Structure 1
Amino acid sequence: MTEPLISSTAALGAYRTGQSVKAAEVSRGGGDFAALVRDASSTAFSEARAAESVVQAGVTGDQSTQAAVEAMLELESTVKVAVSIRDKLVEAYQEIMRMPV
């Protein structure tokens, strides 16, 4: 059986991340690209820390197994999004460096 392209938990995590980035941009009244990337990365780091603490609590028995698995899935989706954004930024930088001046 094939693996689904994206799980519902991963989609929900990506949606929440997108909403928080959009809300931050609207509250600032727009903004520069560097601030948007900085806010998105800090959000990703805070979500990763929260997921890690839930997983650790799940290992010790303070959280349910389901909560630990959901936290791992959210962490996985956050990491995938961060890596894909990083790859696109590196690709854009390389494309700019290849441009003739």
Structure 2
Amino acid sequence: MISPLAAAKAYAAAQNSALKAASGPQEAGGLDFGAMVNSAMTDLTATTKKAETQIAAQVAGKAELIDVVTAISAAEASLETVIAVRDQVINAYQEIMRMPI
């Protein structure tokens, strides 16, 4: 199982070049969290659609099984990354809510 923090760091490192190209304010030396989440959701949608297309092609007899398995694995990895980031955000929010005022 992927640790949530490791998944978030790996995803941020992989998307670093895409985030630099994204418009919007960024802190000095930091990443724009909103752009990272937007990029993650876009990637998740694209990999899921690719997997669905490969499945449909396999059913029609126009794709190899290994291509379908690879596409499904990529979609699963993207989903696990998004879920790991979501869990960390929820944990951080809950920790902040527990802080005394």
TM normalised by structure 2 equals: 0.71
Partner in structure 2 of residue 76 of structure 1:
76
Cα 1:17/1:97, change in 2 over 3 Å: closer
Partner in structure 1 of residue 6 of structure 2:
none
Hey, what's the Cα distance between the residues in 2 that align with 1:17 and 1:89? 14
Q: Percent identity, aligned pairs only? A: 30
Hey, what's the Cα distance between the residues in 2 that align with 1:40 and 1:81? 8
Partner in structure 2 of residue 88 of structure 1:
88
Runs (5+) with no aligned partner, structure 2: 3-9, 27-31
TM normalised by structure 1 equals: 0.71
Which of 1 and 2 has higher RCO (CA within 8 Å, sep 6+)?
A: 2
User: Which structure's residues are more often helix, by fraction?
Assistant: 1
Deviation at residue 68 of structure 1 after TM alignment:
0.6
Aligned length: 88
RMSD: 2.5
Cα 1:48/1:54, change in 2 over 3 Å: same
Runs (5+) with no aligned partner, structure 1: 7-14
Contact 1:25 1:36 survives alignment (8 Å): yes
